Chains A and B, each alone.
Chain A
């Protein structure tokens, strides 16, 4: 069964709306989670690394005030797209690894099902 849960799976809303996406690790603690975005025919692009109890680390070109990340517990990270506009329409997906906070291991990433965001 799924070990990472992400919801909602689909959001359609008007321009200017803020949208919150949740990512939960179901049977393990994750001090680090990752948020990716995928545009059509492109690869998964890392947006930010979510760190439990501290500020997220954003990739170059990703606006931290636009994409608010909160990782308040060991099993939950949220991504809020603030004042979303049509250009924010994309597929957003989160992942986490069982190896607490350490990607340099043989542990694979466990992904949520993703969120398809459409801004009208």
Chain B
């Protein structure tokens, strides 16, 4: 994989349900994986920066895992709330010190 890919592109989740989505990235020359939440009309907000294979990070109801050997990261949201509606971006930092972004997963929470 030469690009950072996110799936699904969009999803609708019922309030209270849990959900997860995927970020795939090149595993070669990997340095770090970033997750951002981007709400409409706001700036992207950093959620996590992960560097080590097997890293798991948590922030409230949101958590993320990292597998650098196979080149993927999962973002989990437990008990979705309307305020979780946003686009979730992942970005991969490789040896060239430039962040390469995925196209994002657009999450809509249905009340």
Residues of A within 8 A of B (CB): 2, 4, 6, 34, 36, 41-46, 49, 93, 103-104, 106-114
Whether A41 and B103, one on each chain, are in contact in the complex, defined by CB atoms closer than 8 angstroms, is yes
Partner of B31, one of A41, A46, A104: A104
In the assembled complex, the CB of A46 is this many whole angstroms from the nearest CB of chain B, namely 6
User: Known: A104-B93, A106-B49, A106-B51. Contact between A113 and B42, CB under 8 A?
Assistant: yes
In the assembled complex, the CB of B102 is this many whole angstroms from the nearest CB of chain A, namely 6
In the assembled complex, the CB of B36 is this many whole angstroms from the nearest CB of chain A, namely 8
Q: B25-72: which have CB < 8 Å to A?
A: 31-32, 34, 36, 41-44, 46, 49, 51
Interface residue SS majority, chain A: loop
- Complex alpha-carbon distance, A71 and B53, angstroms: 36
Query: Please, which residue of chain B has its CB at the minimum distance from the CB of A46?
Result: B98
Query: Please, which residue of chain B has its CB at the minimum distance from the CB of A38?
Result: B101
Whether B49 and A108, one on each chain, are in contact in the complex, defined by CB atoms closer than 8 angstroms, is yes
Chain A residues contacting B31 (CB-CB under 8 Å) are: 104
Residue among B43, B46, B93, B104 with the highest chain A CB neighbour number at 10 A: B43
- Complex alpha-carbon distance, A3 and B31, angstroms: 25
In the assembled complex, the CB of A113 is this many whole angstroms from the nearest CB of chain B, namely 5
- Complex alpha-carbon distance, A49 and B41, angstroms: 24
Q: Please list 13 pairs of residues, one from A and one from B, whose beta carbons are closer than 8 Å in the complex, sorted by A's number.
A: A36-B101, A43-B100, A43-B101, A43-B102, A43-B103, A44-B91, A46-B98, A49-B98, A93-B43, A103-B93, A109-B99, A113-B42, A113-B43
Chain B residues contacting A114 (CB-CB under 8 Å) are: 43
Q: Is B83 part of the contact surface with A, judged by Cβ < 8 Å? A: no
